[in-house]
Amino acid sequence: MKRLFFTLLLTATAALALTAQDYRYEVGPALGLSGNLSDVNNSNIFKHPGVAGGGIFRYNINTRWALKANLAYANISGNNKGHESEYPFGQEYEFNAHLIDAAATMEFNFMHFGQGPKYKNLKRIVPYMTAGVGMVMSFSDGKVHASPVIPLGAGVKFRVKDRLNLGFEFTMRKEFSDKIDGLSDLYGIKHGIAKNTEWYSLAMFTVTYEFSKRCTKCHYVE
C-alpha cells in the first residue's frame, strides 16, 4: 500500500512539472499608493498619500531578466504647513496634481523565477530590482507639464499557480522639470537639474496573467 501511494505521488509530481509551462508575456492591473518629495515636502514621502492605479505589460526574456512597460495614473498633493524651511514673506503653498506616468523598465530577478522541475532551480517567490526611463504628464491648476523621468526601485514576485502571478513593487520616480506639482522656484532661485528636488513614488500591487507559450522544441533542420 505504501509503495502504491509513493508511486502515485511521484506520478502526480511529474505530471505537475510537465504541465507547468514557460510563457513569454504577462499582462494585468496595478493598484496602490503614490507619494512625493517636493519643494513643500522634503522629508516624509507618504505625508500626503494619494491613489495610484494602472496596468503593466511584461516580456519575460528569461527566468532572470524581464522588460516591463507600465501606464499609470497617480494623484499627489502637499502643503508647507509645519515645514521647517521659511519661505519668502511667510508665503503658504499647497498643491494637488494628477499624473499620467508611462515608463519602460528592466527587471533583474535575484533568483530564477518560475515553476517547474526541481533540477531547473526555479523559485515561486523572488525579489528583484528595476530601473528604466519614462515620461510623466502633470495636470495642476489648469496647467499641463511634461517631464522625462527615471524610475528606480525594487519588488517581489510570487507565482500563485501556473500562469498567475502576484507582485508588489516600490519605485521612486526622479523627474526633471521641477513643475509637476505646479510650484517652482519658491525661493526665487531658478531651478536646474542639480537644484531640482522633486521625486514621486509608486507603491503598487499587481496581478498578472501569462500568455504566449514559449516553444521548447528544437525544429532545426541541417
What's CA 156's distance to the chain center, in Å?
10
Classify residue 10: in a domain, yes or no.
no
pTM: 0.81
The per-residue pLDDT for 176 is: 86
User: Domains in the chain: how many in total?
Assistant: 1
What confidence category does residue 220 fall into, taking pLDDT thresholds of 50, 70 and 90?
low
- Cβ(25)–Cβ(56) below 8 Å: no
pLDDT of residue 142: 84
Please give the residue that has the higher pLDDT: either 85 or 66.
66
86: DSSP letter: P
**16-20, 115-119, 185-189, range with the lowest pLDDT:** 16-20
What's the pLDDT at 12?
Answer: 43
Using alpha carbons, select from 65, 75, 62 the residue that is nearest to residue 101: 75
- Is residue 153 a part of any domain in this protein? yes
In a domain, 156, yes or no: yes
Mean pLDDT of 53-77: 96
C-alpha cell at 43: 522629508
Q: Please check whether residue 9 lies inside any domain of the structure.
A: no
- pLDDT tens digits, one per residue of 151-182: 999 999 999 998 999 999 999 999 888 777 76
CATH code (residue 190): 2.40.160.20
Q: What are phi and psi of 132, to 5 degrees?
A: 180, -155
* pLDDT for position 169: 98
29 within domain boundaries = yes
CA distances (Å), 15 to each of 2, 19, 114, 216, 219, in order? 20, 6, 16, 17, 24
- Contact present, 219 and 35 (Cβ < 8 Å): no
Q: Would you say residue 145 lies in a domain?
A: yes
pLDDT in tens, 96-135: 899 999 999 999 999 999 988 888 899 999 999 999 999 9
Nearest 10 degrees: CA dihedral of 114, 117, 118, 124?
Answer: 20
Residue 24 sits in which domain range?
A: 17-213
Reported confidence tier of residue 219, pLDDT bands at 50, 70, 90: low
**Domain contains 7:** no
Tell me, yes or no, whether 202 lies in a domain. yes
